[in-house]
């Protein structure tokens, strides 16, 4: 069977996230010795080469239908990928216990089936959360929050050929959204207004209305690193604010000391 | 480049998301349309000569662009080479639309983005965060994934994203692989 290798090597070198990489020792055959190889886990594919910088890929293991097993007998932090009777068993040895455990964990959850199940579960949770929000007397502006995200989704789905799965539900909420903001303004308590004027998005509170929504232009389909940076900014801001307020406090205490002196 | 061919061939024989006989044409100039049994399994597209057991080839459906060519035809382009496309001819418009949809959704990267999207949205809606890798206890039955890598009577267990997964090997025995066992697959506790 022909495996179109160029597609795989291209995938390996592209910008999508690497799930795990590092040195591992791999046994060539059952009774052989271990060879040190550089492994890269991306999606449900485990690539290996001699060194990280190598252009030449030695091989790839497709991680579907295999079980990851700790081997305790060797005492060398070993583990293996078992595909079943009549099929291959790949044997590995990590450098230490930590390496062994982290690789076993990563390989356990690498399969496509696993991720598919996880996403289904999250989709269900998401639907439940949405229903609870619309049912309960939750902050009205959260429903208004649906408006900006919906419009982004619609904007982005035109660019990429992505077909919406859970997103089709957003279409119905879009129809309801216009009436809600009007109520939102009337119902907002003073407390909520203050929070709204804060520059930091309160994590557990209502989000600012559309005009102040910090994620304008945010594409939920962007890669993880961008998302990570975005959320990192929020944390940075909070930290800065906290440091500033601490400085003010310090100034205060200095003043007091001088008075006493 | 070495790969686990036998295991991949076995994968191609598993029940699939979508399988049909389509007209398939390769990307090179001069390639003609040939009737192939095309089968979508996880994020691979396998194609067989009709009535053959082993697929001719396997295409990894990551970093590819799927486009509608006309009412009954779609194409897949890889490696950012927009001109080099694999073209597939369907029987009906509906079938064509369904294939495009399935292929896009089959990509691991697509699912990963969905994962991030749902987590972000759930967090925004409920204010609750389920830490990704840190959740080592199953929210349902409280098994600790870290200590439970061994095989339980049901199979090997792991906890990831706060969800308890049991990877069984198609037999309910204590992890012994029985003859004729199929694939290991994950199910929740």
Architecture of the A5-110 domain: Roll (2.30)
Report yes or no: A46 and A60 within 8 Å, Cβ to Cβ. yes
| Distance in angstroms (rounded) separating the CA atoms of residues A196 and A216 | 16
Contact between B10 and A125 using a beta-carbon 8 Å cutoff: no
Contact between A165 and B100 using a beta-carbon 8 Å cutoff: no
Distances (CA, A) of B2 to A13, A48, A59, A66: 18, 10, 4, 18
Chain B residue with Cα closest to A144: B125
pLDDT higher at A259 or B82: B82
Over pLDDT 90: what percentage of chain A? Answer: 34
Contact between A85 and B179 using a beta-carbon 8 Å cutoff: yes
pTM of the predicted structure, to 2 decimals? 0.62
| Distance in angstroms (rounded) separating the CA atoms of residues B15 and B41 | 8
Q: Among all chains, which residue has been given the structure tokens 């008075």?
A: A259
Task: Select the residue of A17, A65, A70 nearest B149 (Cβ to Cβ).
Answer: A70
Tell me if residue A90 falls in helix, strand or coil. Answer: strand
Output phi, psi for B158, to 5 deg: -155, 155
Question: What pLDDT digit, counting tens, does each position of B155-164 carry?
Answer: 455 555 445 5
Instruction: State the angle between helix axes of A179-187 and A140-159 in degrees (0 to 180), rounded to the nearest 10.
Output: 150
Residues of chain A with C-beta less than 8 angstroms from the C-beta of B54: 1
pLDDT higher at A244 or A102: A102
Confidence grade of residue B166 (pLDDT, cut at 50, 70, 90): low
Question: What is the DSSP code (8-state) at residue A53?
Answer: T
pLDDT higher at B33 or B186: B33
The bridge status of strand A67-71 relative to strand B57-60 is unpaired
Residues of chain A with C-beta less than 8 angstroms from the C-beta of B113: 220-221, 223
Q: What is the pLDDT of residue A178?
A: 38
Q: What is the pLDDT of residue B145?
A: 54
Question: To which H or E segment does residue A246 belong?
Answer: helix A224-260
Question: What pLDDT digit, counting tens, does each position of A73-92 carry?
Answer: 556 889 999 998 889 899 99
Contact between B112 and A125 using a beta-carbon 8 Å cutoff: no
Q: What is the pLDDT of residue B140?
A: 55
Contact between B5 and A11 using a beta-carbon 8 Å cutoff: no
Question: What pLDDT digit, counting tens, does each position of B89-148 carry?
Answer: 999 999 999 999 999 999 999 999 999 999 998 888 887 655 443 445 555 565 555 544
* Domains annotated on chain B, with CATH: 5-106 (2.30.29.30), 110-188 (no CATH)
| Distance in angstroms (rounded) separating the CA atoms of residues B26 and B75 | 10
Confidence grade of residue A28 (pLDDT, cut at 50, 70, 90): confident
Residues in CB range of B153: below 8 A, 6 or more apart:
B172, B174
ipTM value for the complex:
0.71
Go through A55-76 and write b for each residue having 16 or more CB atoms within 10 A of its CB, e for each that does not.
eebeebbbbbbbbbbeeeeeee
Alpha-carbon distance B139 to nearest alpha carbon in chain A (angstroms): 13
Angle in degrees, CA B1, B3, B4, rounded to 5 = 165
Q: Which of A111-125, A162-176, A227-241, B103-117 has the lowest mean pLDDT?
A: A162-176
Q: What is the pLDDT of residue A243?
A: 81
Q: Whose CA is closest to B159, among B143, B172, B175?
A: B143
Q: What is the pLDDT of residue B157?
A: 53
Output phi, psi for A2, to 5 deg: -90, 125
Q: What is the pLDDT of residue A223?
A: 62
Q: What is the pLDDT of residue B25?
A: 95
Alpha-carbon distance A95 to nearest alpha carbon in chain B (angstroms): 19
Give the 3-state DSSP-derived string for chain B, with helices as H, strands as E and coil as C: CEECHHHHHHHHCCCCCEEEEEEEECCCCCCCCEEEEEEEECCEEEEECCCCCCCCEEEECCCCEEEEEECCEEEEECCCCCCCEEEEECCCHHHHHHHHHHHHHHCHHHHHHHHHHHHHHHHHHHCCCCCCCCCCECCCCCCECCCCCCECCCCEEEEECCEEEEEECCCCCCCCCCCCCCCCEEEEC
pLDDT higher at B162 or A70: A70
Residues of chain B with C-beta less than 8 angstroms from the C-beta of A11: 60, 62-63
């Amino acid at each position: 069977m022909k495996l179109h290798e160029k597609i795989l090597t291209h995938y390996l070198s592209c910008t999508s996230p690497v799930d795990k990489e590092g040195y591992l020792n791999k046994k060539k055959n059952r009774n052989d010795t271990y060879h040190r190889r550089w492994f890269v886990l991306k999606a449900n594919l485990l690539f290996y080469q001699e060194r990280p910088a190598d252009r030449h890929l030695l091989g790839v293991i497709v991680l579907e239908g295999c079980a990851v097993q700790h081997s305790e007998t060797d005492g060398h932090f070993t583990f293996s990928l078992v595909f079943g009777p009549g099929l291959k068993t790949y044997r590995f040895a990590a450098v230490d216990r930590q390496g062994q455990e982290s690789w076993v964990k990563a390989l356990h959850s690498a399969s496509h089936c696993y991720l598919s199940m996880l996403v289904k579960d999250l989709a269900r949770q998401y639907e439940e959360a949405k229903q609870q929000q619309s049912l309960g007397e939750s902050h009205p502006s959260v429903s208004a929050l649906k408006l900006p995200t919906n419009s982004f989704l619609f904007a982005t789905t035109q660019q990429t050929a992505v077909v919406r799965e859970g997103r089709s539900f957003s279409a119905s909420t879009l129809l309801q959204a216009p009436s809600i903001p009007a109520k939102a303004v009337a119902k907002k308590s003073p407390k909520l207004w203050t929070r709204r004027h804060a520059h930091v998005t309160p994590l557990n509170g209502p989000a600012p209305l559309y005009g102040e929504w910090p994620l304008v232009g945010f594409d939920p389909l962007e890669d993880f690193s961008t998302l990570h940076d975005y959320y990192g900014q929020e944390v940075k801001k909070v930290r800065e604010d906290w440091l500033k307020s601490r400085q003010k406090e310090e100034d205060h205490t200095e003043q007091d000391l001088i008075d006493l002196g | 480049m070495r790969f686990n061919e036998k295991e991949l061939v076995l994968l191609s024989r598993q029940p699939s998301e979508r399988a049909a006989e389509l007209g398939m044409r390769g990307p090179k100039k001069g390639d003609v349309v040939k009737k192939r049994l095309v089968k979508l399994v996880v994020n691979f597209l396998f194609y067989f000569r009709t009535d053959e057991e082993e697929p001719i080839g396997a295409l990894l459906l990551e970093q590819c662009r799927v486009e509608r060519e006309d009412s009954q035809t779609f194409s897949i382009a890889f490696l950012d080479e927009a001109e080099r496309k694999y073209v597939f001819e369907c029987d009906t418009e509906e079938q064509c639309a369904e294939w495009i949809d399935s292929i896009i959704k089959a990509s691991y990267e697509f699912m990963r983005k969905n994962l991030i999207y749902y987590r972000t949205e759930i967090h925004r809606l409920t204010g609750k965060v389920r830490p990704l890798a840190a959740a080592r206890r199953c929210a349902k039955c409280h098994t600790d994934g870290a200590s439970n890598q061994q095989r339980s009577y049901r199979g090997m267990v792991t906890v990831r994203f706060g969800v308890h997964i049991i990877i069984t090997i198609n037999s309910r025995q204590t992890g012994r692989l029985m003859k004729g066992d199929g694939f290991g697959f994950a199910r929740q506790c």
